[in-house]
Structure 1
Amino acid sequence: MGVGIVSREGRWLLWAAGGLFVIGLVMVFSASACRSIMKFQAPYLWFGRQLLYSVVALACFAVLYSVDYRRLLAWWPYIFGATVVALALVFVPHIGRRINDSARWVKLGGYLCQPSEFAKLTLLICTAGFLAQRQDRINRFFGTFLPCLLGVGVYFGLILAEPDLGTAAFVFSFAIVLMLVAGVRVWYLGLAGVLASPAIAAVAYLKWDKVVSRFKGVLHPGDQYQVNQSLIALGSGGLAGKGLGSGTQKLGYLPECFTDFIFGVFGEECGYLGACVVLALYAALLVCGLRIALRARDFGGFLLAFGATFSLVFQAVVNIAVVSGAAPTKGISLPLMSYGGSGLALAFAEIGLILNVARRTHLAERRAGASTGDARGRAARIEAAGEAAHA
């Protein structure tokens, strides 16, 4: 990637994302090595897989960075159809894979892929593409809002049927935020919430014991094993941490130590100061992403950059809130840091999308500046020629 074709905000965003990714790789190795030895007698198993996932994630980044985002917005009907098919595949026997009573995975070769993770990205592209096409009639109920809500409802229903209440709620909330930022009337969005409530309530009722136990974990963290162990990890880290590789909670005490609860292990080994560094990097992602969105040359670019930034940072906030006991436990990974192929590929794709918008904006500004400079130069030459003729 040429430095000259990305704005300053884009370069800072790339550095922040790269820093989080490198920290994540180090922590995946640190948190998984002992367990990998105990289970498989191979210390690098999960770390090696994460490196392989990183190659796939870099490919996703390259595609989303290289393809003009305006083409992606124009292709939204095809992307929507492909996503619906992928979400439906989890229910097909011998293709979909059920784990912990949830049909969320599709088996590709020897690896599992989670379509609902990529649905977050395609929802962004499809919603932004649809709303950008209707920018001049954004507040029409039947022409804009209702068709958009129905499309989101298809995603929402398929993910809810897996069942995955957390991801379904995230997808629905994400779409509402995008429509709100796009300028859709607020009472329309309130109506959408009312329409979605019965479906959420029905699934919550069917999974009532699990829902209640997770909210009890917020009120009484000591009663929930994973959160309790995570708080022990964060608290025992102190100011500067125990040192890389010296944490003890990863030794069988914290079950999801290199996936959803990797921030707890990081806090134990790198302490409060290390945690502040990670939070600062996510804050840099937020600031740079929003600046790129506000500088975008068109409405679609603004929605894409804003949506990708919101998705990354919101997931990070939710994950850290869960790890610190401030939110109910839910299987949401820490973007760019947690172990896992689907989540890492999604995060890299979103970074690529933001930088795509930054790149096109920067190139357009450079061309506009060059055109202005040429015009001023021609005007100056004409004026000088006129003065010479009079002389």
Structure 2
Amino acid sequence: MPDSIMPSFRYDHIGVEERLGAHNYHPLDVVLTRGEGVWVWDVEGNRYLDCLAGYSAVNQGHCHPRIREALVAQSGRLTLTSRAFRNDQLAPYFEELCALTRSHLVLPMNTGAEAVETAIKAVRKWGYERRGIPEGAAEIIVCTGNFHGRTTAVIGFSSDPEARGGFGPFAPGFRAVPFGDAAALEAAITPNTVGVLIEPIQGEAGVIIPPPGYLPAVRALCTRHGVTLILDEIQTGLGRTGRLLAEEHEGIEADVTLVGKALSGGFYPVSAVLSNGEVLGVLQPGQHGSTFGGNPLACAVARAALRVLVEEDMPGNAARIGAHLLAGLRGIGGPVREARGRGLMLAVELHPEAGGARRWCEALRRAGLLCKDTHGHTIRVSPPLILTRDQADWALERIEGVLRGPTPDLAAG
């Protein structure tokens, strides 16, 4: 390759990205080139502790060797057949995933948003065929503050004006109620309600945990009214909160569970809709599908990612280290209004007078940590589940040093 087109040490990654890429993201100005475990390195050789973990897609840590080995091995054998044919990785994947999550059926997809859309379709069809709801009248109850993806159907029931603005018209059939309010949810149920779609913990909203007893109350309401409970565990699932699934903290089981992100350990887009036979059982050939969903490469990677989670006790580590990290965050004071979370799904909410979370995330980057601001005043802290106590203490020392220091200049590089 001629030297003139080879990327160099001084390659203007940020300038080219800003010039040629759509501006639908506002990332921190760090250009990452390598990752290992909880650490990532930029193109200048600086090391950072990753406190976002790809929005929980990298629960197992960056480039986990066992998952990478599965990816490399399968990529040399067979990568894609489409579901027009069977492949030898699909059945073992279904069997292992169902056994681990106590599910009856699996519908494999690629992304979290696709899993949500799939659940909406399946639950509506279930309502028409099994409940006798008039065609076109099915309703699904959602919660304000939700984040279930960015497709047009999903943003239609978002309460975030930035997600909705300028993208309508939106599909009907959704009712929104306050998150954490079981009485409001019950009042919204009608004879046409087919499902309740909620996150056990609202991640993008700022790691909002519902009050104790809320999820069991929702489960009881859904059972009493014959409504399907759909739990979006795309961010909360697969060990993030200290259990394999966040529903386990409340001792409940959803009728439909959505998983993704860490289902591949960050190596490949993999998601799944898990359900009992009642819901996914209504789908017939030709009514839903995906060219890449359930491909052999995805299945092999997901199988390895699940084995790693369980055999290395990553949920247990998330519970132990998360409790230690949360206690440390709660002791910082200064601009911190509240620290909250469960497992290694944590957030630091700042007082409004702190000047917004973005500037503090920039300052944390300069201190060697990569965190993400959300909803103005909240910093998300969600590192890979392999974080050690020493690494947590290293992070706490730097977070405390930054947050107890002077308010950073938003324009600082």
With normalisation by structure 2, the TM-score equals 0.28
**Greater Rg by CA:** 1
Q: Which has the higher contact order (CA 8 A, sep 6+)?
A: 1
